[in-house]
Structure 1
């Protein structure tokens, strides 16, 4: 018999001398027993196959029913249905989707998922390195691939997560130096004559993230009490309106966007999305931030100048209650804000630096003034003290002060 009434495995020989084995591994979606077939030339061969399948069943590793998907099909499914359950929309659109469509699918997408081997990932990572990607970016690819394959393993689409069978690409964080205090002052001096110049005073004095500074609204800025509440302003990611994002990237705007373009959907002729929206900051907690006294008159002057712009714009003014905006009230795009920062550095004679380095500088200046690191953590809005320590740097001034204190302790 090929089917055993009690659900146990069975082995038999047919009329042609071929041996068959049947193993019950579970229950199908319709409630019927899920029995798998194995065959071989001898009873010994089939018995071994039956025992192997029984062991996989008992360990919860029995292969799932149906044809195994390709890496391409699985990652697109994971991207659309699984990743959004734990990752933010911004992470999906700006990080995961470009990696899947621009690199993973062209690199390893045609492999059958259950036949993807560790050597395929190693070759893929080597190709990423040769293309000029940083070690940190390659490590990000590895972590994302491992996360996706972990879900495939849980669903028994693969018997093992092959990403765990290789060493993760190595990466050592580079030391990020904050701007010097004199550089920060030079930048603020240069910015004082600019439209929206207070934007850069906010960057250094409050240590806000870019989206937090551009998302400041007057209703949450209390100049009398010297305090503001933090939100973010971000643009919803663009989404392909075409039927095949992969083909769209590789044919319709590859030359325009480039192989590593994060916002490639922006170039899709049928794109959608891109709306502005206010969000809670990282950690999902809106935090109050005290405003340094010298910054208050700068914000008052900025508010008066903005009122004059609003009057001049008339009906063309788009009212979003933004502290920093375009001359017609519309939000400032992050790319334009970054460009203004680079121009400001050049005008101030300061070496090139990331916009986020202003946040590092704010943390370091607070420490130099003797502010407790836990207070710095609260101002910057970090969920853990360990994160705050990554944003702070022991400057020569702090090191000198520590040496002086040690000298006094030992020699008076």
Structure 2
């Protein structure tokens, strides 16, 4: 008997326990395995014609190099494989977010489905479920991460196409930015000035540094210089904060790493008054270290717990909320202190490039987009006359 060629197969019946035919299946030989045995792809269907069409599709995809080899692989198993692939390739915070979405959103909704059986309608149901049960932004994030995972499956030739790309992301309404007015900043700082982390909030509201950058700030990153001012006839004290790293909290574990972007690694100039404030904070920290003795953790961090350890996000929130309530200011997030500082810089007339440099934005265009409403406020208020721009002008004839 002649050897069957690649792509040929024999149809066989699929029967139930009573011997009744419930479908058909066939094996398509697409090559030879490393052990010399035939490499086969099985095709199933309710009718012989459906199976023959499936066989032709397998042959076509095999010949074009697009054959998906996913028999028996569930979406959950593949997602685990994909997470292993991206491990170490992402920033810790991003990797944790990917894992969260996979475990909480993707596996519960799609995990039991065969990877090669995923259809756009399955993804549509997933997006709708997450949108209705959680939020539109979470649904959009879920769709994005699923699309990335399936895109890798296409690259690995496990799937012929990315079905997530056939589904539209839900519309997400951007939340209005919350910031304090200057009078609220003054009220908050006056109320918080006796707290041991007062310098943290002061520096956030003055420089617009991210919370993670402040949590990771070390004393070695705070430098001082003195320069002679001939006009004043005195030595002027200046300070610089060097942003070299940031901290990410994953499952209660503080992880130090490089800044968010190249632009985030920057130097921020601070005033002599802020240097005095940091000096006072350092003396207070030294007293805490002396009182604790050997129990103090020597981390060189500017902002620490009473034991010298890094201040985690939970502690910051527990401190910030009652301080804000006591100051009787509107409720905002700690991250909004950064928005408050950047908004104040814009209102004081700082240009987009300078604000972007101070904030650590890689592109001033992002600063313009993110704070567009503030720039618009400034443009409305700045409506100069020609005389203000160019000096006295000739009187226009016919105008009183």
Into which bin does the TM-score normalised by the smaller protein fall?
A: 0.7 to 0.9
Q: Look up the SS of the partner of 2:306 in the other structure.
A: coil
Q: 1:69 aligns with which of 73, 76, 86?
A: 73
Structure 1 residue 379 and structure 2 residue 349: aligned?
no
Note if contact 1:21-1:46 (Cα within 8 Å) is conserved in structure 2: no
Distance 1:233 1:11 in 2: 60
Larger radius of gyration: 2
Note if contact 2:128-2:139 (Cα within 8 Å) is conserved in structure 1: no
Q: 1:110 aligns with which of 109, 112, 120?
A: 112
Note if contact 2:75-2:111 (Cα within 8 Å) is conserved in structure 1: yes
Q: What TM-score comes out, normalization by structure 1 length?
A: 0.77
Q: 1:60 aligns with which of 60, 65, 86?
A: 65
How far off its partner does 1:163 sit?
Answer: 0.7
Structure 2, unmatched stretches of 5+, are 13-23, 226-237, 394-400
Note if contact 1:178-1:393 (Cα within 8 Å) is conserved in structure 2: no
Cross-structure match for 1:228 = 241
Residues 151-197 of structure 1: per-residue CA shift (max 9 Å, x gap): 11222322221111221122132231432122122222222222121
Structure 1 residue 313 and structure 2 residue 292: aligned?
yes
Cross-structure match for 1:245 = none
Note if contact 1:318-1:329 (Cα within 8 Å) is conserved in structure 2: yes
Aligned residues: 366
Q: Look up the SS of the partner of 1:289 in the other structure.
A: strand
Q: Look up the SS of the partner of 1:290 in the other structure.
A: strand
How far off its partner does 1:44 sit?
Answer: 8.9
Note if contact 1:11-1:19 (Cα within 8 Å) is conserved in structure 2: no
Cross-structure match for 1:248 = none
Distance 2:385 2:324 in 1: 36
- RCO higher in structure (CA 8 A, sep ≥6): 1
Q: 1:126 aligns with which of 119, 128, 135?
A: 128
Distance 2:285 2:344 in 1: 30
Note if contact 1:360-1:391 (Cα within 8 Å) is conserved in structure 2: no
Q: What TM-score comes out, normalization by structure 2 length?
A: 0.80
Structure number with higher strand proportion: 2
Structure 1 residue 290 and structure 2 residue 303: aligned?
no
Residues 66-119 of structure 1: per-residue CA shift (max 9 Å, x gap): 63311111111111x2222532222222x1222222232122211111112222
Cross-structure match for 1:326 = 305
Distance 1:309 1:235 in 2: 26
Alignment of 1:12-411 (within 5 A): 24=30, 28=33, 51-64=56-69, 67-79=71-83, 81-93=84-96, 95-131=97-133, 133-224=134-225, 225-234=238-247, 237-238=250-251, 274=253, 276-283=254-261, 286-395=265-374, 398-404=378-384
Distance 2:28 2:126 in 1: 39
Q: Look up the SS of the partner of 1:223 in the other structure.
A: strand
More displaced stretch, 379-388 vs 319-328: 379-388
Residues 45-65 of structure 1: per-residue CA shift (max 9 Å, x gap): 88755543343234432122x
Relative to structure 1, the CA distance from residue 390 to residue 294 in structure 2 (aligned partners, 3 Å threshold; closer, same or farther) is farther
